[in-house]
Chains A and B, each alone.
Chain A
Amino acid sequence: MKRDPHHFSAAARLLHWLMAVLIVTMLFVGVGMVSTVSRLHDTLLALHRPLGVALLVLVVIRLAVRLTRGTPPLPDDMPRWQHAAAKASHYVLYAMMFAMPLIGWSMLSAGGYPVVLAPGVQLPPIAPHDVALYAWLRAAHTWVGLALYATILLHLSAALFHALIRRDGVFASMTRGQRRA
């Protein structure tokens, strides 16, 4: 089968949109659960950990797909700084997608919490019980989470700019495959 040069692979598109929904859900769950004192707190907390582990598994698969299937090129008429910004933002997004679940898992470990995914299902600690380490990781979890949401908003702005202003096919490269003639 000939590779479509203008669109992300079907696997990449599926992973992108699935993770987009899950990550945005996760970030809302995260900021919601640390503020609310309602019973929603327990529900959101119970959702946060298994979802985080699922996202860690997904980003590993996604990186493998990206490295093996590649990405379509950006339009040649885009300014150089926009090429650079696009590339940098993708590196940053991948770094944060890996970092968030790993920080969360090690943070719970350092805080001495059992990492319970579901009743009777738990993960081993990946950091020593050390509250000073916990404090740094806990702060990092907040700040990287906020940075991730800000980067997602930038990414969304850029995607919509391609879709609505430049109309250059970059948005379509993630929304569909090649149309048959």
Chain B
Amino acid sequence: MTRPTICVPCRLAAIAVAVGGAAAAFAWTAGWLTPARLTAPRIIDTFETSYGVHPGYRRNHAKGLCVEGWFDSNGNGAQVSRAAVFAPQTRTPVIGRFAIPGSNPSAPDASIPIRSFALLFQQHDGEQWRTGMNSAPLFSVRTPAAFYQQLVASKPEPATGKPDPAKLDAFYRAHPDSQPFRQWVGAHPPSSSFANTAFYSVNAFIATDAAGNAHAVRWEVVPDAQYAPETADEKTQPDFLSQDLDARLAAGPLRWHLVLTVAAPGDPTDDATRAWPATRERIDAGTLVVQQASAQRIGQCRDVNYDPTVLPDGLKPSNDPLLAARSAAYAVSFNRRTREEATGAAAQPDGDLHR
């Protein structure tokens, strides 16, 4: 076999090009060559630069408390999903977390008109259903990019500690799809308790029934306790929500009905800013019972990442672009706060009075 006579430096250069190309492709995939690309670490970095780092706490929905209870399925949910959690007469243990949005773990409860409720259903077969729900059924933005722009527009000004109204206005003008969310919040004053609040999945999901048929669904938990607006007195108490919850739980468990709303063909599953028509089928799948609460520094929910894409067989993410972004960003938040736990940078339970 005769070998081609290519110069040695040329052959060395070929090796360098091959290996350098492989290294560059890897760096590009990791996002190291494109700092302007929207990545999950960049979203969390923006929370940290806008609102500071509170070691050990979630980067968003930082102020919250842990609850424990269970879900009693009545079997109706099995019409749309074969997930074990919806089987008839099944009790599934639940680890939950009530919270308010924002990065400050000691923000006054009345400072934000939204609340959240996250749940982890621990199925007996080992699979889990995790969901993070908000007290508004809609979201303000449709895409991760718009979420990031809203985050940037909401950055507090150093002088006032509040967002620049002009920047927020400009954002809302550029994003008219945020209107339904803002109107909903304006028309629904916050309630006096976590216990009399309904919470919504916001995003759509795909449920698969026992026959393999897919159904687009959203879910919500509807409280047994009657809605009452936040009082003027409550607005002055920074932690009234946790105090109220403790008082109610001392008197007995709290209940919500878990309702699945089934989309009709043509209803958007990729747009969390748009509601589905009120006439859509609603399935009452059973009762969520909350039995006890504990501070988040010592409760079971502390060590849970409520990634909404952790789903059991019978539920899966829809084509909503926010779901993957939530999963990616929550993972970064979880990685950072668990590192703070591991290195001792996180606040210790004893020294922490806030939930």
Q: Which A residues form the contact surface with B (CB < 8 A)?
A: 27-28, 31-42, 45, 111-114, 116, 119-120, 122, 124, 129, 131-136, 138-139, 149, 153, 156-157, 160-161, 164-165, 167
From B155-163, B246-254, B274-282, B324-332, the one touching the partner chain is B324-332
**Considering the chains assembled together, what is the distance between the CA atoms of A161 and B31 in angstroms?**
30
Task: Give the number of residues in B that approach A within 8 Å (Cβ atoms).
Answer: 51
- List 5 A-B pairs, minimum CB-CB distance, nearest first: A135-B342, A31-B30, A37-B325, A120-B313, A132-B342
CB atoms of B341 and A135 under 8 A apart: yes
Contact of B15 among A38, A41, A160 (CB under 8 A): A160
Contacts of B335 in A (CB 8 A): 135, 138
Within 8 A of A (CB), among B6-34: 8, 11-12, 14-15, 18-19, 22-23, 25-26, 29-31
Instruction: Tell whether A131 pairs with B126 under 8 Å between CB atoms, given A120-B313, A156-B18.
Output: no
Q: B-side binding surface: helix, strand, loop or mixed? A: helix
**Are B323 and A160 within 8 A (Cβ)?**
no
**Beta-carbon contacts of B82-93 to A below 8 Å, as 1s and 0s?**
000000000000
B61 touches A (CB below 8 Å): no
User: Closest approach, in angstroms, between the C-beta of B46 and any C-beta of chain A?
Assistant: 12
Contact A37 B38 (CB under 8 A): yes
The residue that A42 contacts in the complex, of B15, B25, B26, B327, with Cβ under 8 A, is B327
How distant is the Cα of A134 from the Cα of B337 in the complex, in angstroms? 11
Q: Collect the chain B residues with CB atoms within 8 Å of residue A149's CB.
A: 26
The answer to whether B341 and A157 touch across the interface, beta carbons within 8 angstroms, is no
What are the interface flags for B103-114 relative to A under an 8 Å C-beta threshold, 1 for contact and 0 otherwise? 000000000000
Chain A's nearest CB lies how many Å from the CB of B26?
6
B15 in contact with A37 (CB, 8 Å): no
In the complex, the answer to whether A34 meets B26 with C-beta atoms within 8 Å is: no
Q: How far is the CB of A47 from chain B (nearest CB, A)?
A: 14
B214 at the interface (CB under 8 A from A): no
Q: Which residue of B lies closest to A150 (CB)?
A: B23
Inter-chain contacts of A38 with B (CB < 8 A): 144, 321, 324-325
A10 shortest CB reach to chain B, Å: 22
Instruction: State which residues 305-355 of B face A: CB under 8 Å.
Output: 305, 309-310, 313, 316-317, 319, 321, 323-325, 327-329, 331-332, 334-335, 338-339, 341-343
| A39 to B328 alpha-carbon distance, docked (Å) | 10
- Given A114-B128, A131-B341: A37 in contact with B19 (beta carbons within 8 A): no
**Please, which residue of chain A has its CB at the minimum distance from the CB of B309?**
A42
A161 vs B8: C-alpha distance in the bound complex, in angstroms?
Answer: 11
- Closest chain-B Cβ to A37's Cβ sits at a distance in Å of 4
